[in-house]
Structure 1
Amino acid sequence: MTAPDGPATEVGARLELVCGPIAHGGHVVARHGESGRVVFVRHALPGERVVAEVTELEKSFWRADAVEVLDASPDRVVAPCPYAGPGRCGGCDLQHVAPARQRALKGEVVREQMRRLAGLEVDVVVEEVPPDLRWRSRMRYAVLPDGRRALRRHRSHELEPVEDCLVEAPGAVVHEEGAPREVVHQTVHTSHGTRTFAVASDGFWQPHVEAPRLLVEAVMDLAAPRPGERVLDLYAGVGLFSAYLAPAVGPEGRVTAVEGDRVASDLSRDNLRDLGVRVLRGRVDRVLHRGAGPADLVVLDPPRVGAKRQVVGQVAALAPRAVVYVACDPAALARDTAYLLEEGYRLTSLRALDLFPMTSHTECVALLEPADVCARPR
């Protein structure tokens, strides 16, 4: 039932809203008519008129789920997964959107973040990366008392039982919470060669089945490592990028991989042993403070929160000829780009890859070079 367009006084109140633009986080922005309050609405599309059920009341905004669509967008589709939708699994928040429109919306988010946080107007086209379903090579499930697997609901510890997750790839590495950690092996085939990596079953690894290959090739293309160069691979994980950078710089060069997680760092040491990569374990800012050596080239693949100002400043102080930044969060990328602009760098290339289909997330790879150097067109 549609509630009157009055003030929301409690979670569960229903409002009729006209949805505005997409925002970072997978929701669209609407404004409540009577109060003027901003409402972030999930499971909706720009331009739609919906009935939204309030899920959270914050001081300056509300959150809501679109539970009834009164005027649908032509880009709305039936979600392929029975667990998607309001109050259900929180993983795939764009299953109600046609895939091409998903990518267009994600491009709008990246552009808006770069404009708002870095002051840059950037043309962004999010590249399609098939498949849209059955793409996730690693899954982490909670386990219910009756033994069934489950995933978490949006912004909640509540669990949604899941018999078959439609983004789980055939042969995916599956880790159940509370289960012992295992070491598994992931083989990566790229145009720069094939390597096999030991990875913890509950540790970080790029989840899309095509992500390791595409990201290695994007980093190598933008970085263009040269024989004899000194390279810093920061937030190196189990050594994915270092494994390809080391042969490119050759025996006269040097690659240093820095990773804070103990398990990942130990595995990277094993993965890179035959390549002569120097592996340093510790928080990136502390390792750089102690001195990780000069660098002609820096590759950063930080966690979702980004590298942040201190690390960016430490990187810029090394005066590398290029910084290649791999980012899973456009806001963090934009903030760190702004810091690099302050340090005398400029953004010369940005690629966006749809490595998280059916979700609001996008992977970006950016190249930043000293502003006083004329970069080749890319």
Structure 2
Amino acid sequence: MSDTDWTGREFDVDVGDVAHGGHCVARAEGRVVFVRHALPGERVRVRVTEDRGKSFCRADAIAVLEASPDRVEPPCPVAGPGLCGGCDWQHAAPGPQRALKARVVAEQLERLAGLTWPVEVEELADGPLRWRSRVRFVTGRDGRPGLRAHRSHDVVALDDCPITLEGAAGEGLARRARPGTEFEVAEDVRGTVHLAEIRRGGRPKQLSGGIAVEHAAGRTWRVAAHGFWQVHPHAASTLAGVVGEWAAAPEAGRVWDLYAGAGLFASVLADQVGRDGTVLAIESGRRAVRDGQSNLADLPQVEWHCGTVERIASTVEQQADVVVLDPPRKGAGGGVVAAIAGASPDRVVYVACDPAALARDVATFAGHGYRMTALRAFDAFPMTHHVECVALLRREAGVGERGGPARAG
């Protein structure tokens, strides 16, 4: 542990491998330095931005002394040190960005789940720019909207956001308001922009639109514009396709859709089990449940339950053939995993937006006799460190019906 605060100090380092969170690892005087705006193999000059006196500190690369061949000029003028914190990898070419994310997913699986797994992050359609359909801008001291700097409350005013769909960026950034006002902007599949204003300490005020129209999994959806929906326009259908393929729910079967949102995966599962089957959809957001009930009104086999997965799943006594879950960034956790294992599904399809949470839960599933047998990863958030994964877990032979080891005799 260092007794000296390095904040503001500048020095040169050789950059090591990528780490989870949008930075790379370097070392200086026996300490780990997490460096943003650098790439593996580079030599850079850094300025320490945060030092809390532990065995590590955080820094920005302020000068590149020896550049990686993967380095490119960022397409956004405020994607540099000390500026907008919305993106992590604009200084890397798109292919190398995906390779960095793949290394992070593989490292998390190895470190937290003890799995050595080859990972490829697949590109979604339409390239690395103009993909973000939902964004929240915030006004700074001058009343202009923008995004916050990395790990800061400071607002960087923006004239444009190159990763955001043009309509959403133009509508949100054209506004002016008192400091701290937030503008939630969503652009749906029709190109309609939905805008809500949130003043500090106040409730959201819808300024335009409110009900977004989306197309995914062979259906047209009408959902709350500012509720949960995949941010990348091609992510919902892509993920639904993988979930459907891997779930392979039997006709007349019983399946669970946990953290169901507006019912994207439930719609696919309902088609598989048919009218004689059951899809138990659990979602804590009341508006999402209402949207799901409305959009899937033609699928009476979907049973909606509004409440936390932690509470409801642990009280369900029936077994399940398949369980699909799409938990928040923190993951499902031991209680939910135990409830799933207790339902004895043959397959679990896990959709994850955080590789560390996925790896922790995969390790927990292993303790209940479930082994990961397939994994796909998608670049649903280009230019950022985020990555979307789908994992298939299968119950191992010799595991009893209630999730514990089978007994002989």
TM-score norm. by structure 1 comes to 0.92
Alignment partner, residue 221 of structure 1: 245
Counterpart residue identity of residue 234, structure 2: E
Structure 1 residues 292 and 256 mapped into 2: Cα distance closer, same or farther (>3 Å)?
farther
Counterpart residue identity of residue 328, structure 1: C
Q: Distance in 2 between matches of 1:142 and 1:228?
A: 49
- Which moves more between the two structures, 161-170 or 48-57? 161-170
Kept in 2: contact 1:229–1:296 (CA 8 A): yes
Kept in 2: contact 1:206–1:212 (CA 8 A): yes
Alignment partner, residue 73 of structure 2: 78
Q: Distance in 1 between matches of 2:11 and 2:334?
A: 40
- Which moves more between the two structures, 316-325 or 164-173? 164-173
| 1:105-184 equivalence runs, <5 A | 105-130=100-125, 131-144=127-140, 146-172=142-168, 173=186, 175-178=195-198, 179-181=204-206, 183-184=210-211
Structure 1 residues 310 and 337 mapped into 2: Cα distance closer, same or farther (>3 Å)?
same
| 1:338-349 equivalence runs, <5 A | 338-349=363-374
- Which moves more between the two structures, 70-79 or 57-66? 57-66
Q: CA RMSD in A?
A: 1.8
| 1:1-378 equivalence runs, <5 A | 9-32=5-28, 34=29, 36-58=30-52, 59-130=54-125, 131-144=127-140, 146-172=142-168, 173=186, 175-178=195-198, 179-181=204-206, 183-190=210-217, 193-199=218-224, 201-276=225-300, 277-291=302-316, 293-372=318-397
TM-score norm. by structure 2 comes to 0.85
Q: State percent identity of aligned pairs.
A: 52
Per the TM alignment, residue 278 of structure 1 is displaced from its structure 2 partner at its CA by: 0.9
Q: Distance in 2 between matches of 1:186 and 1:298?
A: 28
Q: Distance in 1 between matches of 2:133 and 2:317?
A: 33
Counterpart residue identity of residue 321, structure 1: D
Unaligned runs of 5+ in 1: 1-5, 374-378
Per the TM alignment, residue 197 of structure 1 is displaced from its structure 2 partner at its CA by: 3.3
Q: Distance in 2 between matches of 1:167 and 1:25?
A: 19
Counterpart residue identity of residue 188, structure 1: H
Per the TM alignment, residue 273 of structure 1 is displaced from its structure 2 partner at its CA by: 2.1
Q: Distance in 1 between matches of 2:265 and 2:51?
A: 43
Per the TM alignment, residue 162 of structure 1 is displaced from its structure 2 partner at its CA by: 1.2
SS at structure 2 position matched to 1:351: strand
Unaligned runs of 5+ in 2: 169-185, 187-193, 199-203, 399-409
Structure 1 residues 175 and 371 mapped into 2: Cα distance closer, same or farther (>3 Å)?
farther
Counterpart residue identity of residue 38, structure 1: V
Q: Distance in 2 between matches of 1:289 and 1:41?
A: 42
Counterpart residue identity of residue 139, structure 2: V
